[in-house]
Amino acid sequence: MANQKKDFVKEITPQKEDFSRWYIDVIKKANLMDYAPVRGCIVFKPDGYELWEACQRHLDARFKATGHRNAYFPLFIPESFFQKEKEHVEGFNPELPWVTEAGGEKLEERLAVRPTSETIVGHMYAQWIHSYRDLPVLINQWANVVRWEKRTLPFLRTSEFLWQEGHTAHATEAEALAEQAQMLDIYTEFVESILAIPVYKGRKTELEKFAGAVSTFSIEAMMKDGKALQGGTSHYLGQNFAKGFDIKFLDRDNTLKHVYTTSWGISTRILGALIMVHGDDRGLALPPRIAPTQVIVIPIGPQNQRESVVSHAEELQSRIRNMGISVNMDSREDLSPGWKFNEYEMRGIPLRLELGPRDMASSQVVLVRRDTGEKLFVPESELPSRLPQLLDDIQHNMYNTAKKFRDDNSRVAHSLPELVETISTQRGFVLAGWCGDDACETATKDACGATSRVIPFEEPEHFETCVVCGKKAAHSVWFAKSY
Amino acid sequence: MANQKKDFVKEITPQKEDFSRWYIDVIKKANLMDYAPVRGCIVFKPDGYELWEACQRHLDARFKATGHRNAYFPLFIPESFFQKEKEHVEGFNPELPWVTEAGGEKLEERLAVRPTSETIVGHMYAQWIHSYRDLPVLINQWANVVRWEKRTLPFLRTSEFLWQEGHTAHATEAEALAEQAQMLDIYTEFVESILAIPVYKGRKTELEKFAGAVSTFSIEAMMKDGKALQGGTSHYLGQNFAKGFDIKFLDRDNTLKHVYTTSWGISTRILGALIMVHGDDRGLALPPRIAPTQVIVIPIGPQNQRESVVSHAEELQSRIRNMGISVNMDSREDLSPGWKFNEYEMRGIPLRLELGPRDMASSQVVLVRRDTGEKLFVPESELPSRLPQLLDDIQHNMYNTAKKFRDDNSRVAHSLPELVETISTQRGFVLAGWCGDDACETATKDACGATSRVIPFEEPEHFETCVVCGKKAAHSVWFAKSY
């Protein structure tokens, strides 16, 4: 108890004081992760990994419902494979870790630890695909990948991270493009409806797209410090990898053609978004649909009535569990109710149920919402209808709150000085016109650190001129500082 | 269709002719795996990976039901960590792959790609455990691991493989020993009741135990060629890793003590056992409780009645699905019923449901069991009771058949010549007395290639003397050639 109490006084830095310190304080205090003894790597502790498992369950069900199946490809990729797609090797080479020795011997060819698997998947697809009858190939992989990044931040950017990577092959460009769009829609639906995070959907610019892709679609979320975080990405690879790895099929018209491929992924960095979109100075706040524990039951009351309260709380707990709601109880005697209230608020449990002798006497319970702090006195008999409804309310309220914040901090700019001013003095995203030139795109970064996030599919506002050069605008672009 | 037909004529080598070729033929033909372009690695194709996913579901539920939680530790382990447990480093050093360069630079300290995670887990536990209140720590990890093996065989021994590794820490030796025993029981129950594979449970000898363990428990199964395959293992690590990594806690009596740790794992090699215990010359045979598809529906009949048969078969399919049975239908028109019968037998689907116009007229279906080949005419109205019962029958019959084979091929020997003779002329396991000396244990290997598998917990027969030296026997030991 001494230890636990000591831990608890370790305060969380307020967001306004130092958002980065707030983030680290929260993920450490909520026991989500620890730093590993390997540069840029973290350990996913059970409370953090459980969030990833919940994401996996939701995503995996969606992938399977759209006809994808899981497979597993090797961790190691021979060096020569990276040479087969020129842009890909240029993009990833600087970040690769190399296995050069194994089993006591120096290897003849170095093996990269996979940063992503397009190359090895491409090599295998070339063996598997022969005819139009073999298409489409719709495969997903849950795996660890490694990118030796210079600057790392827990969950957001770590040397090793966990993700899923889908790899599909199609007979036609149209089918591949439909797959790319479908998978971005699946990510969007998951992130918005389960994680309660609103996103801007769009296309990456040439400079920001995936190394080797024809086009990259992305969803971009706004953190509470106004910075952007890229959620899932979905790439249309055209025939780039098909040509590099010679993936050909005999089509119905009896001619040999290269396939069209896509790849798409979402990683454990999405946990960083979950924390930075909903968390506050009291700690984590988890939307009910992703929270491993939706309701925490805390029996309270004097020692002499403890037994009957706890026993009734246990009964309530199992009734709630039978409603299909995930619930836990904390009846530890050596910790005060106040300590527990703070603890489960800090851990982001959406709903707290308090039960004391007086509540029992009047057949009611006290419910406290993590999102609003609202306290509700609810008759026990109404729990079966009220609890699911409340959890739904919390889910929607969290989404709406995040959306309001996002919208309030999404602005427009018509000139570079205006863009710089807005980014520098007001946090958030700035929409502006862009002519399409790389030079104008990088100018914003040089001027204020904001990069192009996406060319939105739905243009909230149309611009006539490029925010940098003043020539005719080709697109609207969301600019922001980003993680 | 041309392609598919051509594939199909590729015969499966009969088991009696060449068991190893049979194995490779089956796993290739059933589309479970492919060889990867990295030495000793395989690709788990969707049909193979799906079997592993089914194992994961069953095991993960059992781990969680016994209080374990999942976490994730880094893939890379600093070289210095391996030096901290002497036996561990000696056991694993020869098999380690080393990352020596990353991000364009030579690393100051080489990083091993994990062969198992006791060392890095030990390092983290030392940070996390301070008081008896922090114990027990019950963590599991689903991960890929790499061991640069000299000889590899798909699923059974690959450079990279998938597994789970549990790592627990306890305040007392008794608790750690109870954990070790509990996890072996969980493996046993899973392997016997879900995979329908009977096992011998026991303790490994000093020579065969895990590098760094005080004791290793193992379950050993017999393949159809009589060889042994080690299923799950559960290790009691005593205070070996606790001392190496300085994992200490303040106990209730206010003294600092080292914790007691265990580790336990089961890997994708269990898929090899599943194939080699139940498969036959027609291909795979999957026990219903692990089969991703339990029933395959095949509509048959002349072209002019096709539509009504297929539509009724679809209806049956959804009724069967609603019984909680996993079912698929193959209504492809360009493939003959005979081709499909062979195909799904080869893929090991436990039950085939055939439906033709005459069956429809008499409101019945034809069911064909994969295990016995038995053909049953079952009224549609009886499907809700007969199908679950039949799947249960198949499950138990497959277990009993495997057990009979195992028991028929388990023999005893009272002298080394008898042991050598039995192992060399009759396949299977041999039980014999053993004095406990390493030299006598290795003598059997030198003489006939059989190694000690386990010292069984339940001694089927007691021996007075060591099968090699004739001195007093300390234990009975199962000897066998093994994978």
Per residue in B42-90, pLDDT tens?
999 999 999 999 999 999 999 999 999 999 999 999 999 988 888 888 8
Are the beta carbons of A43 and B160 separated by less than 8 Å?
A: no
**Residue written as token pair 């396949």:** B427
pLDDT one-digit tens code per residue, B379-431: 999 999 999 999 999 999 999 999 999 999 999 999 999 999 999 999 899 99
3-state secondary structure of A83: coil
Other Cβ atoms less than 10 A from the Cβ of A76: the count is 25
What is the residue-wise DSSP string for A374-432?
-EEEEEGGGHHHHHHHHHHHHHHHHHHHHHHHHHHTEEE-SSHHHHHHHHHHS-SEEEE
What's the Rg (C-alpha) of chain A?
25
Q: What is the pLDDT of residues B111-145, one digit of tens each?
A: 999 999 999 999 999 999 999 999 999 999 999 99
pLDDT at B109: 95
The pLDDT value recorded for residue B10 is 62
Q: Is the pLDDT of residue B7 over 80?
A: no
Residue A32's φ and ψ, nearest 5 degrees, are -80, -30
Domains (range + CATH), chain A = 10-278 (3.30.930.10), 295-386 (3.40.50.800), 410-480 (3.30.110.30)
Nearest to B99 among A113, A130, A139 (CB): A113
Single pTM value for the model = 0.95
- pLDDT for B310-366, tens place per residue? 999 999 999 999 999 999 999 999 999 999 999 999 999 999 999 999 999 999 999
Q: Where are the beta strands (DSSP E) in B64-180?
A: 69-70, 76-78, 97-102, 105-113, 137-146, 160-170
Alpha helices (runs of H) in B66-147, residue ranges in sequence order = 79-82, 86-92, 118-128
Pairing of β A429-434 and β A410-412: parallel
pLDDT at residue A93 greater than cutoff 70: yes
Q: Which residues on A lie below 8 Å from B34 (Cβ)?
A: 124, 127-128
Which of chain A's residues have a Cβ under 8 Å away from the Cβ of B158? none
Quote the pLDDT of residue B89: 86
> Is residue A274 a contact partner of residue A195, using CB atoms and an 8 Å limit?
yes
Backbone angles phi, psi at B372, to 5 degrees: -110, -15
A44 and B98 within 8 Å at the Cβ level: the answer is no
ipTM given for this complex: 0.96
Residue in A closest to B75 by C-alpha: A160
Residues near B333 by beta carbon (within 8 Å), at least 6 away in sequence: B306
Spatial neighbors of A272 by CB under 8 A, at least 6 apart, are A23, A153, A154, A155, A156, A229, A483
Q: Do B49 and A71 touch (CB under 8 A)?
A: yes
d(CA B302, CA B295): 23
| Interface subset of A 84-123, CB within 8 angstroms of B | 94-104, 110-111, 113, 120, 123
DSSP secondary structure of B269-310: HHHHHHHHHH-BTTB----TTT-S-SEEEEE---GGGHHHHH
Q: Which residues of B touch A81 (CB under 8 A)?
A: 37
Q: Does B61 touch chain A (CB under 8 A)?
A: no
A67 touches chain B (CB under 8 A): no
Distance (Å, whole) CA B481 – CA B430: 10
* Rounded Cα gap, residues B173 and B407, in angstroms: 35
Per DSSP, the three-state class of A295 is strand
Q: What is the sign of the dihedral through the CA atoms of B392, B397, B402 and B403?
A: positive
DSSP 8-state code for residue B65: H
